[in-house]
Amino acid sequence: MDGFNLELSDHPESLEQLLVDCTDTLKYGVKTGHPRFFNQLSSGLDVVGLAGEWLTATANTNMFTYEIAPVFTVMETILLKKMYEIIGWGETEADGIFAPGGSISNLYGILVAHYKHYPEIKRQGMTALPCIVLFVSEQGHYSVKKAAAILGIGTDNVIEVKCDERGRMIPAELEKNILEAKRKGQTPFCVVATAGSTVFGAFDPLHAIADICETHRLWMHVDAAWGGGLLLSRNYSSKLSGIERANSVTWNPHKLMGVPLQCSAILIREKGLLEACNQMRAGYLFQPDKLYNVDFDTGDKTIQCGRHVDVFKLWLMWKAKGTCGFEAQIDRYMELAKYFYKVLKKKDNFKLVFDAEPEFTNVCFWYFPPRLKHIPKGCERDQELQKIAPKIKAQMIEEGTAMISYQPCGDKVNFFRMVFSNPATRRADVDYLIDEIERLGKDL
């Protein structure tokens, strides 16, 4: 960032300098809308969503009261209702709120779960409680542990359930873990199932998990931050079959649906719980003697006070595309993932982490430089393979040609995770990425 002075001064800069600063900020930034930006689950740049965000910024208001956000509050209600219906809660009066990201949405799910079981927690705190534990698969998102730390449950009381070879929670293992916890005198209260895991894109078997939750009277939260968008596709929504039995669901439209950051919803099947759990009735904000029905004020359902308007961009995109538009886009990502899988399968210098059609748009794989192909499988080869993905990625970043994530997982050394959620991506970009990995990796 040569010549880009980021330091702040006592005195104003000229307008010309500000424009140079803006240009530099974009120039040295990462092009997350680029068709070959595959680095995160959120990518691409939808122009209607962008227009929505610009209007939101111009309106510069706050979601805490209907009084100052009447239109956005109604839009939020309509969007949440649409999402409940899609989940399959059409008959009941459900509840929810848009939150600053999936981690906070997951925290809401667990917060409401323990409030439902132990309402005294709000006033008396956790010391009033037995040792409560919750369950999530070993492939579940780290925000579950983070939430447990924040909520005073503790990360030791998050029990990781084993997964099958594709990264899906094994129901028999869950059952076993629950019984074991009970034997130890712990009190299970919640299971977090994952619909679209971050690395492998795996879907936990929701019906089997729901059965277990019913038997043991546990709250079922589904983290569908990544996978939720798939509910909009008639071809693929069955992968989330059973989600309608959940007590709460996290769903991030800023991921698969391509809404600009941030846009995440927590949906809760039982109406009223969210408010009961979080309500503080601040007299200066939630006056009961307002001009309008104060049930429209959503602020006291939240763990925030002021809340950014995250709904308008999603609402406008939904108007612009219709549900069918989202479906077409998502189906195309699934096609691209299958295409990518098929191409890699034919190449002997690439190895898929799972040798089976992708479950979702995630495709995990290793690249083997020719040098490594002759080393037999084992510790020595793994040590070398571990270094390949970081080196290739570093070179890609230096050259600015593409961006893709990698990570180790369990006994698997660093592998690439390809993922599709960018409407700008075409097959040619997929081919380019493969060629680029070969070009940068062949002499490593």
Supply the minimum distance, in Å, between the C-beta of residue 210 and a copy of itself: 26
Residues 8-27 that bind a copy of itself (CB under 8 A): 8-13, 15, 17-18, 21-22, 24-26
Please report, as residue ranges, which positions from 96 to 125 form the binding site for a copy of itself (by CB under 8 A).
100-104, 107, 111, 121-125
CB of 127: closest distance to a copy of itself in angstroms?
A: 6
| Number of CB atoms found within 10 A of residue 417's CB | 22
Answer for which of 180, 215, 272, 305 binds a copy of itself (CB under 8 A) is: 305
DSSP 277: H
**Contacts for 407 with CB less than 8 Å, ≥ 6 apart:** 199, 414, 415, 417
Interface pattern 327-366 for a copy of itself (x via CB under 8 A)? ----------------------------------------
Report in angstroms how near the CB of residue 243 gets to a copy of itself at its nearest.
Answer: 20
Q: Which of 84, 98, 312, 416 binds a copy of itself (CB under 8 A)?
A: 312
Write out 28-95 in H/E/C secondary structure: CCCCCCCCCEECCCCCCCCHHHHHHHHHHHHHCCCCCCCCCCHHHHHHHHHHHHHHHHHHCCCCCCCE
User: Do 427 and 339 form a contact (C-beta atoms < 8 A)?
Assistant: yes
Element at 177 (helix H, strand E): helix 171-183
The H helix count followed by the E strand count for the chain is 13, 12
Which residue among 88, 154, 205, 423 contacts a copy of itself (CB under 8 A)? Answer: 154
Q: Output 108 or 368, the one with its CB closest to a copy of itself.
A: 108
Q: Name the residue with tokens 């981690």.
A: 103
- Using CB under 8 A as the binding rule, whether residue 424 contacts a copy of itself is answered as no
Do strands 219-223 and 187-194 pair parallel, antiparallel, or not at all (unpaired)? parallel
CA distances from 83 to 53, 365, 413, 414 (A): 21, 33, 38, 36
Task: Enumerate residues 372-411 that contact a copy of itself by CB under 8 A.
Answer: 387, 390, 393-394, 397-398, 403, 405-409
Can you tell me which of 112, 134, 153, 337 binds a copy of itself, judged by CB under 8 A? 153
Whole-angstrom distance, CA of residue 134 vs CA of residue 114: 10
Judged by beta carbon, residue 121 or residue 337, the one nearer a copy of itself is 121
- Which residues touch 154 (CB under 8 Å, ≥6 apart)? 148
Stretch that binds a copy of itself, among 36-44, 89-97, 236-244, 430-438 (CB under 8 A): 36-44
Closer residue to a copy of itself in complex, CB, 349/407: 407
By C-alpha distance, which of 93, 56, 48, 54 is closest to 75?
A: 56
Site residues for a copy of itself, window 73-92 (CB under 8 A)? 74-75, 78-79, 82
Stretch 170-189 residues interacting with a copy of itself (CB under 8 A)? none
Among the listed ranges 137-145, 344-352, 371-379, 432-440, the one in contact with a copy of itself (CB under 8 A) is 137-145
**Which CB, 3 or 283, lies closer to a copy of itself?**
283
Calculate Rg over the CA atoms of the chain.
Answer: 23
Q: Whole-number minimum distance, CB 164 to a copy of itself, in Å?
A: 19
Whose Cβ is closer to a copy of itself: residue 208's or residue 337's? 337
In the region spanning residues 217 to 276, those forming contacts with a copy of itself, defined by CB under 8 A, are: 254, 260-262, 264
Contact 183, 161 (CB under 8 A): no
